[in-house]
Chain A
């Protein structure tokens, strides 16, 4: 398990990281390293340069900003899990962060790293999707914001272009019920299927590991928001969705699980 040879640069600021990315065709940012390094060790990824932003403390924060909470991209999962601000204002996010991997992973991994990696099987991308969060992206050209619904583009592919750095995630505060159902065989694993439900005015439902990106269960959402019963809505969980088959679950079983978990999550969020 040795990665191919690569150059390593530790960036002293976001601006410096951006300028290094701009000068390279395939440089990759690294923060906690918990998504990228395994790919590199398996030689499924071989960036020529790693730009280490892990020590940019300016990007590690959780701030109450009135109607939303702003989270720095380099905030560790463990800090989300234990944040009083999140527990109070966006409790599902704090809960989901506590479901990621194991304690070692949670002390190293960062929310920005997880979201920028854009893995459809990861917990946090689905959580920010259900929360209708907004990503703040910086580049040499300035800053732009991207809603979560248009951030995740494909398998390990996001709206981030080369030369752009995800710096902040803005999460609307929630006041209604919520639930996160993570189904797996071992505690530290990725979800075989996961379901996040946020009731904040309307109900939003997102799915983990039901596709190459985190997905919204639109048919279920529409049904429940138009007054259908939880059972009826849950039946529609995988409508229009083409889940993967792998060692842990066939597509057919994933569809079944999605229905069961959406029902359970809606019940819990409504309780």
Chain B
């Protein structure tokens, strides 16, 4: 175990505590939404458009209705009075943003393959699915808009009611003249164009929802495979038109989300509306091939990035123009995703002049939305690729160009040209550690040796140094970005009469290990066994307030709320102990569950006794309320800014174009480390997901707008067999933003690894003249790049 200066005084924090969630997950005992036994439930199935862009000229559901086991078949027209409003988008990023009306079922037009056209409700899942084939739909097919630059030309407008394919233009240009001047005076410039391909998030558990109406009283319980039970409750109340007091949302065990379950989906609205209409439980679980088209996609951008640099390679300005793919409609936070990266296109470099413009457009494809990293992987990719391009132009190494441009350690807190204040960092120390651990000099020598020997297996070394903004987020900052909610998190800590402890959190874990980590935070503060602590979450009846789990926010915001609530409970217990011992509070020490009088350790009062006193309330200090409980809602004063060096080593087979990732070194700094085991798990999975974008995954469409990679045989999620054993290190720079000094680690690996791998691929081939390869760097793409370069 690695101990650090900042956590060495801790007994629990920093320990590699095994995840208490794992036994039931690993033995299959955990209950996911689809596992819930709900007597009398009806099964829902959705007929989806097979046409990317078209007009529904007729729908005949009569044959489907008469099939055995079918209860009802509905189209938009049948249900238009069963909801109170369109599907919600909670992030109107500009006042004039165009948001076409979007309903759970298509109203006349279909706008992507997968768009819901009709819904079947039946007594069994198979009856519902079989009935789909009996529904007759005729479409008048329209030309689909698939290409982003074609979309922006408005030569073919998808949503005629808004008259344009441009949803919004968003700019962050603090001083345009200064940017222009920096480019005019630059000794060197680079201008790069990168494509962020669309990705299918592919959580292991597909989406699933079960709505159970109470027999009377009009109450509904919604079980959903969601990351956001609290947000879902609010949005379902508004969208379906049910009092929020009548809705309870529960997220049972949830098998991954990666942002794809940070949403409000048509099937959740349909299941609730139909449970109300039919007065029976209604359930639906997504099929894997539906997941590919009916759950949001990630990424989808064309990035133009320009750097201006002086003669020494010091970057003086960055100018970015994005075109972002919204897909067919705006989902919950679709338009905000590019903004989460908008402030980070200068990366870890001290670049004084900043210009960012994003134009976001509609296409006839599945809507995009948050996918692990959400905006920040795209930003990191662009700046880290462009820094390598600049290094090549100057003839300096990828290491040197970075060292010349790092934000210096002494300038933290650092006010960036994009308007953020970076909390803490020491980039050079972190970078040097990574270079040392990976053995950069030996790698460079080996690379040269292979080139000189004419080897068919070339070596490439790729560096990516990332910083991200997470711990979403200060509510006032979110307000300035027009986000439709706050960024706080709620917690309640209560010590029960028998001294067992309940921790209620508004975070909604779906694989992260919150029950373990939150117990550690409380156990650290109270000095009690973790086994006495129970963490309750993901049920709006138990945890009424919460902002849920996404954006690497749960530890920095939710963990902090728990930490403060624990402090308050301990303070109250101390007042009770002082009262009982008839001493002043400041005369008490506390350790491992026992208050003692300073200088008289035999005069003691246990925390457990204070809990029981608080319960009986027989002898509390005057004016003190009974019960030992504290509730805290924490709104962070700033984002947190984790960072780190990631270095990928690839071998490229120059005959076949195949890229093998042979080594991967990461040195992450996520502030103080609560549980290194969980951190490493997050980094491992994160790296794998980012490598997947670089080398394997792509939501590929044909010219008619059909998703070609719609099964897991065609959509290449890599497995452990394609990946090396990751080599991890760390530095620890506590965040001053919260009392735990923590930052966040859920997205770090994904943000960093994609450019590391792509820089490595290009590095292996740059002596041949290869400067860029589109992602994923498939064997054929790499072979063609080599072929093209060697023919020049």
Chain A residues in the interface with B (C-beta under 8 A) = 1-2, 4-5, 38, 42-43, 183, 185-190, 192, 247-250, 253, 256-257, 260
Contact = CB atoms under 8 A, between A and B. Distances in A.
B700 A256 contact: no
B172 to A, nearest CB: 37
A1 B722 contact: no
Contact of A2 (B125, B695, B714, B779): B125
B548 to A, nearest CB: 29
A249 B780 contact: yes
B718 A186 contact: yes
A133 B166 CA distance: 62
Contacts of A248: 778, 780
Interface string B102-128: 000000000000000000000001100
Interface in B246-276: none
B129 interface: yes
Interface of B: 125-126, 129-130, 133, 287-289, 655-656, 658, 695-696, 700, 708-709, 711, 713-714, 716, 718-719, 721-722, 778-780, 783-784
B656 A257 contact: yes
A249 B784 CA distance: 11
Given A248-B780, A253-B780, A1 B287 contact: yes
A4 B129 CA distance: 9
Contact of A186 (B656, B708, B722): B722
B126 A2 contact: yes
Given A1-B289, A186-B719, A248-B778, 5 more contacts: A2-B129, A183-B658, A250-B780, A253-B780, A260-B656
Contacts of A189: 713, 716
Given A257-B656, A260-B656, A185 B696 contact: yes
Interface centre among B125, B709, B711 (most CB of A within 10 A): B711
Contact of A247 (B695, B714, B719): B714
25 contacts: A1-B287, A1-B289, A2-B125, A2-B129, A2-B130, A4-B130, A183-B656, A183-B658, A185-B695, A185-B696, A185-B778, A185-B779, A186-B716, A186-B719, A187-B722, A188-B721, A189-B713, A189-B716, A190-B713, A247-B708, A247-B709, A247-B714, A249-B779, A253-B783, A260-B656
Contacts of A183: 656, 658, 779
A186 B718 CA distance: 6
Given A253-B780, A256-B783, A247 B700 contact: yes
Nearest to A4: B130
Contacts of B696: 185-186
Contacts of A188: 719, 721
Contacts of A250: 780
B783 A42 contact: no
Contact of B289 (A4, A42, A247): A42
B706 to A, nearest CB: 12
B780 A187 contact: no
B656 A5 contact: no
A2 B130 CA distance: 9
A186 B721 contact: yes
A187 B784 CA distance: 23
A38 to B, nearest CB: 8
A195 to B, nearest CB: 12
B287 A260 contact: no
Contact of B719 (A42, A43, A187, A260): A187
Contacts of B778: 185, 248
> Top 6 A-B pairs ranked by shortest CB distance?
A187-B721, A253-B780, A260-B655, A2-B129, A1-B287, A249-B780
Contact of A1 (B288, B708, B713): B288
A243 to B, nearest CB: 13
Nearest to B659: A185
Interface centre among A42, A185, A189 (most CB of B within 10 A): A185
A42 B130 CA distance: 12
Contacts of A247: 700, 708-709, 714
A261 B451 CA distance: 22
A256 B287 CA distance: 37
Contacts of A43: 133
B721 A185 contact: no
Contacts of B130: 2, 4-5
A193 B780 CA distance: 12
Nearest to A2: B129
B780 to A, nearest CB: 4
A1 B291 CA distance: 11
Nearest to B129: A2
A194 B133 CA distance: 38
Contacts of A192: 779
A248 B287 CA distance: 24
Nearest to B128: A2
A211 B129 CA distance: 34
A264 to B, nearest CB: 9
B125 to A, nearest CB: 7
Contacts of A42: 289, 711
Contacts of B700: 247
Nearest to A264: B655
Nearest to A263: B655
Nearest to B708: A247
Contacts of A1: 287-289
A122 to B, nearest CB: 13
Nearest to A257: B656
Contacts of B289: 1, 42
B276 to A, nearest CB: 27
A190 B713 CA distance: 9
A7 to B, nearest CB: 15
Interface centre among B700, B708, B709, B778 (most CB of A within 10 A): B778
Contacts of B784: 253
A185 B126 CA distance: 35
Contacts of A4: 130
A256 B656 CA distance: 8
A148 B350 CA distance: 67
A248 B289 CA distance: 19
A103 B212 CA distance: 40
A5 B287 CA distance: 17
Contacts of A256: 783
A208 B138 CA distance: 40
B207 to A, nearest CB: 14
Contacts of B722: 185-187
Nearest to B702: A247
A247 B709 CA distance: 8
A4 B700 CA distance: 28
A43 B132 CA distance: 12
Contacts of A257: 656
Interface centre among A5, A190, A257 (most CB of B within 10 A): A257
A186 B722 CA distance: 6
A191 to B, nearest CB: 12
Nearest to B696: A185
Contacts of A253: 779-780, 783-784
A186 B688 CA distance: 13
B431 to A, nearest CB: 32
Contacts of B716: 185-186, 189
A248 B709 CA distance: 10
